[in-house]
Amino acid sequence: MTMSRKNLLLTYSLAVGVRYLFLHSDFQKDIVNRIEIQTPLNSFKRVVEGRYRMSLGIDPYESDSLHVPPLHLTFYTFLIDNFPNYLPYIFMLIDLLTGHCLYTFARRYMLKLYIKQEKNKHTYAEDALSQLLEGRDLYLPPQYALVVFLFNPYTIFNSAAMTTTTVNNLLLSLFFVGIIYDNLVISLAAMTLSTLQSFYPVIMIAPLYLTVYKRKESHLQACLTLFIYALSVIGIIYISGIIYNGYQFLDQTYGFILKVPDQQPNVGVFWYFFMEMFEHFRLLFLFSYQMNVTVLYFLPLTFKFREDPPLLAACFVTLIAIFKSYPSIGDFALSLALLPCWKHLYSCMQQVFISSVTIVITTALAPILWDLWIFWGTANANFFFGATLAFVTAHIFLVTDISFAYTKREYLLKYGNCRQINGKDAKLVLE
């Protein structure tokens, strides 16, 4: 059972209506200039400036304003030159496509979980019925995922500001569709383009590898897929260097992401530490932070979720949003929209209420503290950073809670709800 075409059309129409209202409201200019939404990496104003410099025959990467890779700059230039009056509506359409991709992914994912459950049902404990998927779990999570994405304020503001994060979210959602349908062309293309835009999706090689291996049962085929991915990224960068007469863009794109030279405040944690620390410690913390988002959790999470590549990919998407050098609320919109897909884990989660309330409160509090700091002068950077730190900590709790719930549910399915040791009821005693 899925949403009817009438309900889908109504949902999409309401989503377009909400975005249209924000786009033509007095708040649109304020939304574009909010540091929670716009960053040096996803600002469309910088893309327009780069396109203008390029039209004058000036290298757009000579200045320190443009940080979009050449392939994506070419795409945005095409849109600006051919559809200048329809750009806001194009970003609306991209949002709708992303929502539909998430709906398609969630529907297929829940079906696969249900089929796997019915296949292994004979191995589950007798008193584990409360942990099993029901019929309604096949159609409710996809609907929730669609609604959460399309009507999330993070997504709406991101679309109204026309940030490049809107396009990146579409690419990542296409990657999820590709791995759940075992479509290597879609997953490889989406992952390649997403990596070229923001670098950090390179860690998606783990769920891609696991997906290919589970399908082909061949490590050689999986490694070949990763080789094609690496060859595609290198090839596009090489061609971009030829077209743009050099590789200066590498320092202004991926170098900018890795070296973090701009300390403009955002919803992440990079800016505060690099603003406050002594300069001779910068390289140490720079390596530590970048390893945190790319290397540190890569192997542990890959090993733990090796049987569930989509869940692994969702964890990586959330970790990227949390720890990337220039995050925006648009990065968190995708990870929050994926939460309904783990509805079967909710009964084992312990911190979802606290995390949700913290995210809501800090989202409302951060703009207030920013205004008190910048415009009123009655606060300082510590106030705003405190809100952003609580914001990312809440998302960290969500990731750890999902990981714990996944492990706990596996245990309950195998051993049941029994809490006895040597025939006696077990008790947890603190001494």
pTM for the whole structure: 0.94
Q: Which of 88, 93, 201, 98 is nearest to 149 (CA)?
A: 98
Supply the pLDDT for residue 24. Answer: 86
Percentages of the chain per state (helix, strand, coil), in multiples of 5: 75, 0, 25
Take residue 140 and report the two structure tokens written for it. 């409710």
Return the ∠ at Cα 309 (arms to 292 and 199), rounded to 5°.
Answer: 40
Supply the pLDDT for residue 7. Answer: 86
pLDDT along the chain (431 residues), means of 10: 78 94 86 91 93 90 89 94 94 96 95 92 82 86 95 94 95 97 94 94 96 88 94 94 88 93 90 83 89 91 94 96 94 94 89 92 94 89 93 94 91 77 59 48
CA distance 145 to 166: 17
Going from the C-alpha of 359 to that of each of 15, 269, 315, 391, the distances in angstroms are 22, 15, 17, 5
CA distance 138 to 114: 8
